[in-house]
Every structure is written in structure tokens, then in C-alpha cells.
Amino acid sequence: MKQLLLRWVLNSFALFFVMKLIPGIQIDRFGDLMLATLVIGLLNAFLRPLIVLFTLPVTIATLGLFTLVINGVIFALAALLLKGFHVTGFGTAFVAALLFSIFSFILNMVFRTK
């Protein structure tokens, strides 16, 4: 449970950094930041595997690069589901998802979460 909370906080920091770096991302309040992190995590855990499964031929044909598009879709979908989390377009969501993945990976490696 402690690891899960630590990972959630670290991913919230990653999302905060992305929001500060990319002008097309806006989060209204701190609670919206925490909720957006939770929704992105849940979408990645439950919806992303289904999308990857259904798009497997495209993913194989692009040597796995299509998963970057899937990450952008998940990020944009989270923005559509939440009122306080705004993304201006798919291009912004694509870049934001890429940076979010990188920052999240680095923070989780530094703090050694599983």
C-alpha cells in the first residue's frame, strides 16, 4: 500500500512537470492533478491492454511505435473524463504522454518503486 501511494505521488509530480513544460496542458486545482494522475493510472491499467490487443497488427507493423499513439489516446481520454484537466489537442496529448512516461520512469527509478 505504501508503494502504491508513493508511486501515485511520484506520478503526480511527473504530471505537474508536464503541465509546466507544455503550454497546452492545464490543470485547475491540486485535487484535479491528483485525480488526473489516478485516472491516467486506471486507464493505463484497465483500458490500455485492451486497446493494445485490438491494435496488435498495427503495433507489430510499426514495430511497437503505435503504443506511443495509444499513450496519447489514454492521456486525451483522461482529459475528456475530467473537468479540471484540459488538453488542447491530440498532438499536445501525444507529446504530454511521452514526457509523462519519461518523467514517471525517471522518478520511479530514482525512488526505486516497483
Domain boundaries, the chain: 2-110
pTM for this predicted structure:
0.91
What pLDDT is stored for residue 87 in this prediction? 96
User: In this predicted model, what pLDDT tens digit does every residue of 45-100 receive, in sequence order?
Assistant: 999 999 999 999 999 999 999 999 999 999 999 999 999 999 999 999 999 999 99
What pLDDT is stored for residue 26 in this prediction? 96
Q: Which residue has the higher pLDDT, 113 or 21?
A: 21
Cα–Cα distances in angstroms (integers) from residue 32 to residues 3, 58, 64, in the given order = 22, 34, 31
User: In this predicted model, what pLDDT tens digit does every residue of 1-56 receive, in sequence order?
Assistant: 888 999 999 999 999 999 999 999 999 999 999 999 999 999 999 999 999 999 99
DSSP symbols for the chain = -HHHHHHHHHHHHHHHHHHHH-TTEEE-SHHHHHHHHHHHHHHHHHTHHHHHHHTHHHHHHTTTTHHHHHHHHHHHHHHHH-SSEEE--HHHHHHHHHHHHHHHHHHHHHTT--
What pLDDT is stored for residue 113 in this prediction? 67
